[in-house]
Each structure stands twice: as structure tokens, then as C-alpha cells.
Amino acid sequence: MGYLQVQYEKILSDYLKNQSEENLYIGQNYIRQLIQKNITPEEVINIHKQAVEQLHGTLPKYVEHAYDFLIEVMVHYGLKVKEHQSLLMKQEELRIEMDIATKIQNLMLKTNIPKLNQIDIGMVSVPVRKMNGDYVYFLQDDGHHVSVAVTDVVGKGVPAALCMSMVKYGLDTLEYANNNPSYVLEVLNRIIEKSVDDSMFVSLFYGRFDVENNIFTYGSAGHEPAFYYNAKESKFYDLESKGLLLGILPEVKYRQSEIHLNDGDFIIMLTDGVTEFRKLEELDSRQLIRDIVMKFKHLNAQQMCDELYKQILCYQNYQLEDDFTVVIMKK
Amino acid sequence: MKVNVQLREDGDMLRGKIEGEIDTFTAPILRDELETITIGKYSLIELDLSNVNYMDSTGIGVFVGFYKKVNREDGKLKLTQLSDRLTRLFEITGLNELMDIETLKKVELSDGNI
């Protein structure tokens, strides 16, 4: 402490003789060094008090008491600063852990878009935060069926990610792309209902495309309806399929329906991040999506997804409010 | 962005009025408020949502959680005065088949009266 004291006295006395920018700057630099050495604010004031006494001689009693008072109250200030620093360190540790978890999630949930001659598939899925609450999973058997699950897990962040891996392993266990959508939904519902807490659930749209017969069979568990575009009529239909969210009741039956896809027809599956415009309450977002897609229906499925994303992002002022996921299957 | 819950006893019923926006940030506040209700005390818990101008899926989560709790404790829950937007949310999720939900009745103005 003695050494610091002497240095400080020198800097202060230089400043008192000449209140120049330069002398002030030396003082500021010195304080920075003290911070690095973990000198607390009350110690700094004590150093200052002693320096003033050295330079000026004994201080009037009331000035001395005022300094003592300041030293005492600054103890708490110092403690808070320390607390803050340690929180910052903890936060940094958490951030690193989150990064690792995100990497694991991305690796684990990675799905490949099937490439087939008979059907063109495109997808865009963009998370708002680090961890995506939406999830798309494709299944494919040897050329007969392609299936897709579009999922939105309620609750965000880490709990959602854990729930999502449950969906993934459920789908993995079912294994075959030729399963009926209603069966897939029933099994997943049972798995999720058993394992998550009361306020957590999953919405899921499941579609299966029969490659040889061009039949798309679908079912929904509380999910935003998909769009079906009929090229011959140049008309959109909503693929409404009422079904309860997954994870709410133990035994739920799900319906499935089917449509025949002809050349130029396509299906758009999406999550509510695409249809929900919080700031534009009056907007009919489903009509907006139909209008956008109409303009780009000559493109391939991936380009259509990309264009839809670009346009919606623009409507949302380049700031997504929710995870955004769209999958297009085009015949 | 705020949510406000007012609860008042009405005979053996509990009437609640929820106001504001229910999203990721306000949902925990709503959940805590609903948590304070002693479900067994009332024959019916009725929550008026006419002044909920926004709700996302986290909000749905809160109501589902509360609905399950009410059911476990043999109570009854009714959600009333839902806007079209909220009604749609309950329809898409299939919850309207499960829960007792009443849509906001619009007052029709006939031209003659204006």
C-alpha cells in the first residue's frame, strides 16, 4: 500500500499545481491500474485522504470525518461492484455452455432434405434466439414414401430443446416413413404427455407422400393448417385437420386426410412464426402468404421458401418475433 | 407490455378479468397470479379475456397448465369473451374441444340507430 500511496501523492500534487488535461489523464490511467489490482473504492478514498493530509497538513476535523464517512459507505459500493463482476463471469460461463448446447442441438436435430425426382422439397427454418423452438424432420424409405414432421415446441430455449429431442427420438423409433400420420401423432402424444410438465406441449403437422401414387396424407396436432395449392384450379385450400396439441391428454385419437397431388400442385407447411404478426393485428397473414407464394410459384420449392422468408421478414421490419419455419413440397 | 389480473368472489364463483398482453415475458406473472387461487373454494372459475389483446403459445401454456390443475382438483374453469384472434388460437390447437370457451359477442349496430 505504501508504494501506491507515494505514487498517488505525486500524481495528485502535480495536478494541484497545474490542473492540466495531461495531469488529469495520468490520474485516470492510474485508477485503471488500481482497478486491475482489485483495489476497492473505499481503499482508493483512503489513499486520497492520506494524500491530502500529506500535502495539506492536518485536515479540519469535519473534513476528516466527512472522509471517514465516505470510506464507510463506499464499502457497500465496493461489494456491489465485486458482485457485479462475478455475475459477469458467471454469465460468460453460461454463454459458453449455451453455445455448446446449441451446437449439440444442431448436430442432434440435423435433418436432410430428401432429394427425389418425383417431388421437389424446400425448407427454411430460422430461430429467433440461439435455440430453435421449431423443428423439421424428414423420413424416407427406399423410394416409396417421404414423410415430414413440422413441429413447434411451446416454451422457448433450453426446456423446448429438451422436449424437441424427445420428439426426434420418438420419430426415430417409429422409423418407417410409411407409418400413418394418425398413428405417428398418437404415439408421439403418449411419449410427450408422460414426460413433460403441465404447461409444455408441442404442435405438430405430419405429412406423408406416397411417391408412386402421388397421394399426400396428413394429420395435425394443434398445428397451424398447411396450404394446398391446386394448380389446375389455381386455388389455395387450407389443410384443416383438427387435433389436440401433443402432450395434453394421455389418449388422444388423431384424424388423417389425404389429397392427390398433380403436376404443379404444392403443399406449404409452416409454423406460427410465419403467420403471426403481432404488430399488424388487422393483417390477414394467411392471405398475405398466399399472395406472396402466387408470385413465386414458378420457382422451385427451395427458392419459394427463400422468397417467402425474405418477404415476410420485410413485413416484420427485419426483426422476427418467433421462430420461422416453412417447408414446401412441390409436385 | 404488461398483464394484469383482477379476481373477485361472486357468491360461490370466482370471476377474474385478465388484461394486457400474454407472451413469454408476461406469462410467468399470469401463472403466478392463477397459482394463488384456491380452486376447491369455488363451484366455477370464470376468466374474462376480453381485454387480452395479444396472446402467444406461451400464454396458451399457462391456461393449459391451469386447466389441468383445476381438473385435478375437481373444479370448473370457463374462459369467456375471447376475441376472434384468441378464439382461432384455441381452435387451431384443438383446445376448444377440451376447455369451456366462449367467444366475445359483438354488439351489432343496425344502420337505423346511428
CATH number, position A94: 1.10.1240.30
A88 and A151 share one domain: no
DSSP states of A41-87 as a string? HHHHHHHHHHHHHHHH-SPPHHHHHHHHHHHHHHHHHHHHHHHHHHH
Range of the domain at A249: 109-330
In this predicted structure, which of A177-181, A241-245, B36-40, B110-114 has the lowest mean pLDDT? B110-114
Mean pLDDT score, A144-153: 92
- Model confidence over A220-249: pLDDT tens digits? 999 999 999 999 999 999 998 889 999 898
Domains and CATH numbers, chain B: 3-113 (3.30.750.24)
Whether residue A288 has pLDDT greater than 70:
yes
- Model confidence over A105-118: pLDDT tens digits? 788 888 889 999 99
Chain A from 223 to 252: CB within 8 A of any B CB: 223-225, 242-245, 248-249
ipTM computed for the complex: 0.83
Give the 3-state secondary structure of residue B19. Answer: strand
- Cβ-defined contact of A222 to B58 (cutoff 8 Å): no
Identify which has the larger pLDDT, A277 or A236: A236
Whether residue A277 has pLDDT greater than 90:
no
Q: Domain end: A102, A122, A146, which one? A: A102
Whether residue A176 has pLDDT greater than 80:
no
A220 and A307 share one domain: yes
Task: For an interface test with B, give the residue of A150, A154, A252, A274 to mutate (most B CBs within 10 A).
Answer: A154
Whether residue B113 has pLDDT greater than 50:
no
Whether residue A8 has pLDDT greater than 90:
yes
DSSP conformation class of A110: -
pLDDT of residue A316: 82
In this predicted structure, which of A122-136, A299-313, B67-81 has the lowest mean pLDDT? A122-136
> What domain count does chain A have?
2
CA atoms within 13 A on the CB side of A185: 33
Whether residue B106 has pLDDT greater than 70:
no
In this predicted structure, which of A146-155, A255-264, A277-286 has the lowest mean pLDDT? A277-286
A244 and A219 share one domain: yes
Rounded Cα gap, residues A327 and B100, in angstroms = 34
- Cβ-defined contact of A200 to B92 (cutoff 8 Å): no
* Contacts with A154 from chain B: Cβ below 8 Å: 57-58, 60-61
Give the 3-state secondary structure of residue B99. Answer: coil
Angle at B27 between CA B26 and CA B33, to 5 degrees: 95
A317 falls in which pLDDT band (50, 70, 90)? confident
What residue of A is the nearest CA neighbor of B97?
Answer: A244
- Model confidence over A24-62: pLDDT tens digits? 999 999 999 998 888 999 999 999 999 999 998 999 999
Q: Domain end: A102, A131, A161, which one? A: A102
Rounded Cα gap, residues A4 and A39, in angstroms = 10
Name every residue in B having a CB less than 8 A away from some CB of A.
24, 31, 53-54, 56-58, 60-62, 64-65, 68-69, 85, 91-95, 97-98
- Cβ-defined contact of B85 to A221 (cutoff 8 Å): no
A160 and A252 share one domain: yes
Q: Domain end: A41, A72, A102, which one? A: A102
pLDDT of residue B111: 53
Cell matching residue A84: 457485479
Handedness of CA A181, A187, A189, A192 (dihedral sign): negative
pLDDT of residue B45: 96
- Cβ-defined contact of A201 to B61 (cutoff 8 Å): yes
Whether residue A178 has pLDDT greater than 60:
yes
* Bridge partners, residue A328, by sequence: A122, A268
Cell matching residue A268: 406449404
Specify the CATH number for the domain of residue A323: 3.60.40.10
A30 and A169 share one domain: no
Cell matching residue A50: 492520506
A200 and A323 share one domain: yes
Rounded Cα gap, residues A220 and A267, in angstroms = 14
A255 and A326 share one domain: yes
pLDDT of residue B22: 92
A67 and A152 share one domain: no
A258 and A311 share one domain: yes
Mean pLDDT score, A244-265: 93
A163 and A281 share one domain: yes
A297 and A322 share one domain: yes
Instruction: Check if A198 contacts B (Cβ < 8 Å).
Output: yes
Handedness of CA B11, B17, B22, B27 (dihedral sign): negative
Distance from CA of B35 to the nearest CA of A (A): 13
Mean pLDDT score, A94-106: 85
Q: Residue B23 — φ and ψ, nearest 5°?
A: -140, -170
A85 and A126 share one domain: no
Q: Residue B82 — φ and ψ, nearest 5°?
A: -75, 135
